[in-house]
Amino acid sequence: MDFNVQADTQEISVFRKEVREWLQENMRGAEGLRWSATWSTRENEEEYQFRRKLARELGEKGWLFPMFPVEYGGAGLTIDHQLVLETELDHSGINLAAVFYTLARIVAPVILKWGTEEQKREFLPPMLCGEVSVWQVLTEPQGGSDIATCHTKAIKNGNHYVVDGQKTMVGYHHPPDFLWTLVCTDPSGPRHENLSWLYIPGNSDGITIQPMSLMMGIKNTVFFDHVRVPAFNLVGGENNGWRVANTHLELEHGGEGRVGADPLVERVVAYCQQMRVAGAPLMEDTSIRDIIADMMIELHAVHLFARRNFWHRYVREPHPYGGAQFRYYQRMVRLRNGERLQQIMGCDALVPNLTVNEVVDFEYVVRSGPGMLHGGGTLDTDRLVFARRVGLGRPTKETAPTTI
Amino acid sequence: MDLRLTKTQNMFKRAAADFVKVEAPSHIVTEWFRNKATFLPDLYRKAANLGWLGMVVPERYGGASASFTDCAVVFEELGRVPLPGPLFSSGVLSALLVLEGASEAQKESLLPAICSGRSIVIVAITDKGVDWGTESVETRLTNTTGGFVLDGTKRFVYDAEGATSFICAARMENGGIALVLVNRESPGISITPHVGFMVSVAEVRFDRVKVAASSVLGEAGAGWQILDGALQKALPILCAYQVGACQEIFDFTAEYTRTRVVFGQPIGRFQRVQDHCVELSIHLDAARWVTYEALWKLDSGLPAAAGVHEAKAVASEAYYQVCNFSHMVHAGPGTDYGHPLMAHSLMAHTLYQYLGTPLHHKRKMMDALYPRGKG
Ligand SMILES: Cc1cc2nc3c(=O)[nH]c(=O)nc-3n(C[C@H](O)[C@H](O)[C@H](O)COP(=O)(O)OP(=O)(O)OC[C@H]3O[C@@H](n4cnc5c(N)ncnc54)[C@H](O)[C@@H]3O)c2cc1C
């Protein structure tokens, strides 16, 4: 087994050097910015613009999707290159999967798997190059977890679909260029055989976006009122949407994997080394060290699960239950860490520190703990998927869909 | 990055799986544990013949010069049983201890015998039930004319029953720690099995046992460093054994959720039962990946101390918790000593303590990463 780029080959060390130098050059000007990594209530226009620019520059080199084919805007590199890129970006506080507000990391592989050649050539390059942002638009107010009960209708009319309905809890602070949307194309059809996916331009007439202020940041309700979408933008076949959704959900439910790791523990340790209580650094306190140890061990397991899932995805042998297991665990660990941070640093854990990346902004970790439990499906759907994949109480096991 | 086992490792794994299928079927294993008859000389000899003792020892000393991961995949399969007997305690830990700290002459005389199974050498470390640190070594080693006298009582000596000799950690008059090789037949040694919710452990009393000066392993006074060095390499193999155990429990627990029907449906359809299985799997896989990462570090010559302590903490905790979650799924029938889960429960409690609890190793992990007194 090799958990890393064990000994950098000549090619990989040259690449690492190239990435480092590139980052030094391209991160210039970012020093004064406050980072908000994935999404949050701490909106800052200057930072957002910087992130978009950084994404375009990464995208130009194919580095946003290092392992994707060159013809669609990837770089056609290996898993070891991906590892180098993620690790080096992590050092700068950037998560390669979320350089700016977009969910291309999930939508792009789904389109790569289900799109026609023409669709891939049209939709993928702008997404992979970081030029456009895309939201995933599934949840409805009535259906909630049960996304197959989809009331948003898309009825074919000539070369177009006409979309009517409402989605909720989707997207980010900035309006999207595209909405990757689950719709019902056959209202009288049987469950799971009446759905389709539309790649809807964000500037289409009839779309209204209403921001919602949530404990973890901004999400939106989206209203579709007679929105006309070219039939070309239906991906994966009419009424075949549930199968496409399986690919989508496998990625979203943890099957995506990740090779990099978040630096939360290092930041906690740095805090404890500096903060003195009763004449000694907090880091000398045995009970504090015990709490940090638990935090570190659980985060390490989360990280190894993510790496395992990435590996399985990469060799096209999806882990049977790894995605759901990872996501359930990651979110429970995050929740526990919120409490641990409060135990370690008292009320300092409740004060936002706008000078740091939000991944390691302690207040954000604490605040988002309970909210982040539900994104893309709740802890209960994770466990439900796990049970089916392992075949608990069932004679057969549901197989995990292959993703790209 | 490559998270697969090699062809050879898959071969080792299969060989071990085939062996335990034939030699240790479940109904016989439950009897061993029910009767606490866990030292099985015949089985030990057969395992020795397959080359599973001292796998990581260099060939010139009778080992197989295998990598740590090679050895771990075998122990993972043995853990599924769980196969009792001093395969780890003598064949891995003591072998590595001798390799780590003994003189060349001692290596040449001890290692081939350990690897062939002729000698079963068992390490006796702690005098205290609650501690596995240096302070726990209280048995005294005093100078006399022509040698030493060893006096004290070691607790929780794992696999003591089958020992042909002990390596005893002892406190010298100058306060240092020496490792002393003592023949089991030496006058003054008595072995009393611990009675309670554990297996294969005993109290070993050294009552003014005479030992020759040449019986000190390596340099007197360097005993603790030698032991620490050996544990650094041996522990992940023990972790792999615990991973195998967790995997087996996961498999038979999932199967039970399909076959056990109450209220007219298989219990696996109850979401509460599913929850137990989810938690169980998380412990299993955390143990698996932390363990194999530590093994990879050892095999690659990377700094491994923190990872090794972490693995022991995670794997022992996992084995313990996996048993508990499996008990929740099995309910009544799982508490019968005739059920395979009981063998695991006994073993899990034993290994939770053996060579230090999860808390002990978490603290060692932290000390390896962030030494105290450095601000
Ligand atoms: C941080 C965050 C980000 C999000 N981002 C997006 C996004 O980008 N795009 C998008 O489309 N949506 C998004 N959502 C919405 C999210 O997908 C939904 O919140 C989620 O699917 C659950 O739906 P609900 O909130 O209506 O809960 P409900 O479905 O009403 O669930 C209520 C409770 O019932 C439980 N429950 C429901 N069904 C079952 C079952 N079968 N078995 C056991 N228990 C069950 C749930 O676990 C929960 O405890 C986001 C949500 C959050 C919090």
**Taking residues B68-73, what's their average pLDDT?**
98
- Per the CB < 8 A criterion, the answer to whether A282 and A276 are in contact is yes
Identity of the residue numbered A288: I
A93 domain-assigned: yes
d(CA B150, CA B136): 16
B374 domain-assigned: no
User: Same domain for B59 and B92?
Assistant: yes
The domain boundary, picked from B78, B100, B119, lies at: B119
How many of the other CB atoms lie within 10 Å of CB of A246? 16
B344 domain-assigned: yes
Q: How many CA atoms lie within 13 A of A253 on its CB side?
A: 29
- Per the CB < 8 A criterion, the answer to whether B247 and B286 are in contact is no
B38 domain-assigned: yes
CB contact under 8 A, A3 and B269: no
A107 domain-assigned: no
User: Same domain for A235 and A310?
Assistant: no
Which residue did the predictor score with more confidence, B374 or A384?
A384
User: Same domain for B40 and B92?
Assistant: yes
A361 domain-assigned: yes
Q: A51-55, B65-69, B176-180, B360-364: lowest mean pLDDT where?
A: A51-55
Domain count of the fold of chain B: 3
Mutate which of A105, A139, A197 for ligand 1 pocket (most atoms within 8 A of beta carbon): A139
User: Same domain for B328 and B356?
Assistant: yes
User: What is the per-residue pLDDT for A217?
Assistant: 83
Q: Of all atoms in ligand 1, which is nearest to the CA of residue A377?
A: 21
Mind listing the pLDDT tens digit for each residue in A55-71?
Answer: 999 999 999 999 999 99
CATH of the domain at B333: 1.20.140.10
CATH of the domain at A22: 1.10.540
Contacts B258 to A, Cβ<8 Å: 391-395
Contacts A395 to B, Cβ<8 Å: 258
CB contact under 8 A, B281 and A2: no
Q: How many CA atoms lie within 13 A of A286 on its CB side?
A: 4
CB contact under 8 A, B281 and A390: yes
> A156 CA to chain B: closest CA distance, Å?
40
Q: Which two tokens stand for residue B11?
A: 């071969």
Mind listing the pLDDT tens digit for each residue in A298-355?
Answer: 999 999 999 999 999 989 999 999 999 999 999 999 999 999 999 999 999 998 876 6
A2 domain-assigned: no
User: Same domain for B228 and B332?
Assistant: yes
> A395 CA to chain B: closest CA distance, Å?
7
User: Same domain for A158 and A87?
Assistant: no
User: What is the per-residue pLDDT for B94?
Assistant: 98
- pLDDT above 60 (res A39): no
**Structural domain of residue A214, as residue ranges?**
134-244
Identity of the residue numbered B223: G
Question: A374 alpha carbon to ligand 1 midpoint, in Å?
Answer: 5
Ligand 1 contacts CB of residue A157 (under 6 A): no
Q: Of all atoms in ligand 1, which is nearest to the CA of residue A372?
A: 1
Mind listing the pLDDT tens digit for each residue in B230-240?
Answer: 999 999 999 99
- Sign of the torsion formed by the C-alpha atoms of B21, B24, B28 and B29: negative
- Per the CB < 8 A criterion, the answer to whether A341 and B330 are in contact is no
**Structural domain of residue B138, as residue ranges?**
122-222
The domain boundary, picked from B98, B119, B140, lies at: B119
Span between the terminal Cα atoms of chain B, in Å? 35
pTM, 2 dp: 0.96
B231 domain-assigned: yes
- Per the CB < 8 A criterion, the answer to whether A323 and A250 are in contact is yes
CATH of the domain at B53: 1.10.540.10
- pLDDT above 70 (res A7): no
Question: A147 alpha carbon to ligand 1 midpoint, in Å?
Answer: 9
Q: Residue A46: CB partners within 8 Å, gap ≥ 6?
A: A33
Complex-level ipTM: 0.96
Select from A283, A304, A322 the Cβ nearest to the Cβ of B293. Answer: A304
Contacts B362 to A, Cβ<8 Å: 290, 293-294, 297
Mind listing the pLDDT tens digit for each residue in A170-228?
Answer: 998 889 999 999 999 999 999 999 999 999 999 999 999 999 988 888 899 999 999 99
Mind listing the pLDDT tens digit for each residue in B128-177?
Answer: 989 999 999 999 999 998 899 999 999 999 999 999 999 999 999 999 99
User: Same domain for B277 and B357?
Assistant: yes
Q: What are phi and psi of A36, to 5 degrees?
A: -130, 30
User: Same domain for B14 and B48?
Assistant: yes
User: What is the per-residue pLDDT for A38?
Assistant: 53
- pLDDT above 80 (res A377): yes
Nearest residue by C-alpha to atom 37 in ligand 1: A145
Domain count of the fold of chain A: 3
Nearest residue by C-alpha to atom 41 in ligand 1: A381
User: What is the per-residue pLDDT for B375?
Assistant: 47
User: Same domain for A149 and A263?
Assistant: no
B1 domain-assigned: no
User: Same domain for B64 and B30?
Assistant: yes
A368 domain-assigned: yes
A378 domain-assigned: yes
User: Same domain for A270 and A232?
Assistant: no
A37 domain-assigned: yes
User: What is the per-residue pLDDT for B245?
Assistant: 98
User: Same domain for B282 and B209?
Assistant: no
User: Same domain for A84 and A21?
Assistant: yes
Mind listing the pLDDT tens digit for each residue in B171-230?
Answer: 999 999 999 999 999 999 999 999 999 999 999 999 999 999 999 999 999 999 999 999
Average pLDDT of chain A to the nearest whole number: 92
Ligand 1 contacts CB of residue A380 (under 6 A): yes
pLDDT class of A403 with cuts at 50, 70, 90 = confident
The domain boundary, picked from A244, A270, A294, lies at: A244
Ligand 1 contacts CB of residue A323 (under 6 A): no
User: Same domain for B186 and B247?
Assistant: no
d(CA B266, CA B261): 4
CATH of the domain at A164: 2.40.110.10
Q: Which two tokens stand for residue B30?
A: 């439950």
User: Same domain for B195 and B233?
Assistant: no
Q: How many CB pairs under 8 A join A and B?
A: 131
Tell me which residues of A are annotated as active site. 252
Rg (CA), chain B: 21
Mind listing the pLDDT tens digit for each residue in A294-312?
Answer: 999 999 999 999 999 999 9
Mind listing the pLDDT tens digit for each residue in B288-321?
Answer: 999 999 999 999 999 999 999 999 999 999 999 9
The CA-CA-CA angle for residues A389, A390, A394, to 5°, reads 95
Average pLDDT of chain B to the nearest whole number: 97
- pLDDT above 90 (res B272): yes
Task: Give the residues across from B216 on adjacent strands.
Answer: B180
Mind listing the pLDDT tens digit for each residue in A99-126?
Answer: 888 999 999 999 999 999 999 999 999 9
Q: Of all atoms in ligand 1, which is nearest to the CA of residue A141?
A: 26
User: Same domain for A309 and A350?
Assistant: yes
CB contact under 8 A, A325 and B274: no
A127 domain-assigned: no
**Taking residues B29-47, what's their average pLDDT?**
95
User: Same domain for A309 and A280?
Assistant: yes
User: What is the per-residue pLDDT for A6?
Assistant: 55
User: Same domain for B330 and B345?
Assistant: yes
User: Same domain for B16 and B35?
Assistant: yes
Q: A361-370, B41-50, B123-132, B308-317: lowest mean pLDDT where?
A: A361-370
The domain boundary, picked from B90, B119, B148, lies at: B119
The domain boundary, picked from A101, A123, A155, lies at: A101
d(CA A260, CA A265): 14
